Amino acid sequence: MNKIFYISLLLITILFSGCSDDGKPYYPPPSLSTNGNVVGTAQVWVTSGDKSRLIAPQQDIDIIDNTTTDYLSITVDASEKYQEIEGFGAALTGSSAYVINHMSSTQKMALLQELFDSENGIGISYLRLTIGASDFSLSDYTYDDMPSGQTDTNLDNFSIAPDQVNVIPVLQDILNYNSEVKILGSPWSAPAWMKTNQSLYGGELQTQYYQVYANYFKEYIEAYASNGITIDAITPQNEPLHESNYPTMKMEAVDQANFIKTALGPTFINNGITAKIIAYDHNFDVPSYPLTVLEDTDANQYVSGSAFHAYAGDVYVMSQVYNAYPDKGVYFTEISGGEWSTDFTSNLNWYVRNILIGSIRNYSKNVLFWNLALNDSYGPTNNGCTDCRGVVTVSSSGSVNYNEEYYAIAHFSKFVEPSAYRISSTTFDSSTGLSNVAFENPDGGKILVVLNESPSTKTFSVIVGDNRFDYTIPQESVATIIWD
């Protein structure tokens, strides 16, 4: 009779759970095996595709000392650790910095607190900068532009003055909210006078300027340091297999290896520069590129890892490169949303499954989206994408729209601290529509992010040692669950 009662209660709960759109928490139906003592609680935050919950706290979950369950289940094991996490965030492009810096002081500080403060915001912990101009800058420039036909091999005219208008002031404001933000710098082009075509658009770096260009990186890192900003890592070239009518530069894998081993790496070592050198910085579809750089023994000694974008290819390539060189990190450094895909639900699902859970389960140490902020005309742009979406959109009046990219990042950046580790979590059967990834923070706190892409609520159990908790996740939602 008792078993019949619980089965009936389970069926009633399944029928009626998930029907409310008022943002109230979902409660799991009781498991058929609920005997056990409460030994702790877990906290939950949920974002749903229908926007009824947006990084919304839910009722705490009881953790009990009983691992028996009749639900779908996974096991989280903190004794099995994988990569160390360096952070989550986006790119503070010239356009993003301009948009933010032209808000009123009150609006700007409120936005930066929301983005970078982990207590009162989402705690973004990693930024990417463009070294010079990109397709999201106010104009074309490098830090040492010369009149046609002239060179500056001593870099006497080197100056980061263009960045001191918007980028550096915004960065300095950001550091007031999170002084530990990691920064990755990536160039779109060397100065035109160093290149084969004497243009910022396309062309290649001339070998005779390898050492000069290495010195250029050194000057960049030192100039930012003089403004109180530490560059944690650089890539030698953004998207080195792409050329366009905005600042770009082709750099084949063999050429990148040669540049690193003959100039960039030794220059960093000889000048005490500790910034990481991260190879590639382009799409998943050419894993041979980072593998070629890492196969070069002389270059390998200077390289900390490889960076990837998601505009082509498969995220599993990150594991391919990691498995070949497990002593080197892999990094995810760019993806952008845009007006080509405007459905909040499908975008949220795709980002969390492929970019966040996907790259982290394939050993990425970070996850970075493209523009941190753009205006409501998808800019300012510089001959590049005309309909890309920022993590946030800032209107001409200074009001802010928090896009799906913001909520995808938030479910990780707010809870997973730098120096956390990904820990073992088994996977759900793909037919369930559930996916997950787990972490342990430096203080021992555990984090589990679960995505439910299915059109129905799903109840699951999480086994942690001798304990268990159950949770019912709404349809088409992401949940972050944390416990000690």
Domain-wise residue ranges, the chain: 30-82+422-483, 86-418
What's the CATH number of domain 86-418, 3.40.50.300, 3.40.50.720, 3.20.20.70, 3.20.20.80?
Answer: 3.20.20.80
Give the model confidence (pLDDT) of 36-45 as tens digits.
Answer: 999 999 999 9
Catalytic residue among 114, 334, 417, 453: 334
Helices (H) and strands (E) in the chain, counts: 13, 23
Give DSSP secondary structure letters for 7-38.
HHHHHHHHHHTT---S-PPP-PPPPS---S-E
Assigned token pair, 395: 């209107």
Catalytic residue among 114, 204, 239, 405: 239
What integer pLDDT is reported at residue 30 of this predicted model? 56
Instruction: Quote the percentage of the chain above a pLDDT of 70.
Output: 93
Per-residue pLDDT, averaged over 296-314, amounts to 98
Per-residue pLDDT, averaged over 107-130, amounts to 98
What separation in angstroms does the CA of 298 have from each of 69, 217, 292, 301?
54, 20, 12, 6
Q: Is 222 a catalytic residue?
A: no
Per-residue pLDDT, averaged over 385-400, amounts to 98
pTM above 0.75, yes or no: yes
Question: Which value, to the nearest 10 degrees, does the dihedral of the CA atoms of residues 335, 137, 252, 245 take?
Answer: 110
What integer pLDDT is reported at residue 33 of this predicted model? 56
Q: Is the pLDDT of residue 128 over 70?
A: yes
* CA atoms within 13 A of residue 336's CA, in its CB half-sphere: 20
Q: Is 84 a catalytic residue?
A: no
For residues 357 and 359, give the distance between their C-alpha atoms in angstroms, rounded to a whole number.
Answer: 6
Q: Is the pLDDT of residue 362 over 90?
A: yes
Q: Is the pLDDT of residue 2 over 70?
A: no
pLDDT band for position 218 (50/70/90)?
very high
What integer pLDDT is reported at residue 23 of this predicted model? 46
Tell me if the domain spanning 30-82+422-483 has CATH number 3.10.20.30.
Answer: no
Give the model confidence (pLDDT) of 246-303 as tens digits.
Answer: 999 999 999 999 999 999 999 999 999 999 999 999 999 999 999 999 999 999 999 9
CA end-to-end span of the chain, whole Å? Answer: 37
Give the model confidence (pLDDT) of 53-90 as tens digits.
Answer: 999 999 999 999 999 999 999 999 999 999 999 999 99
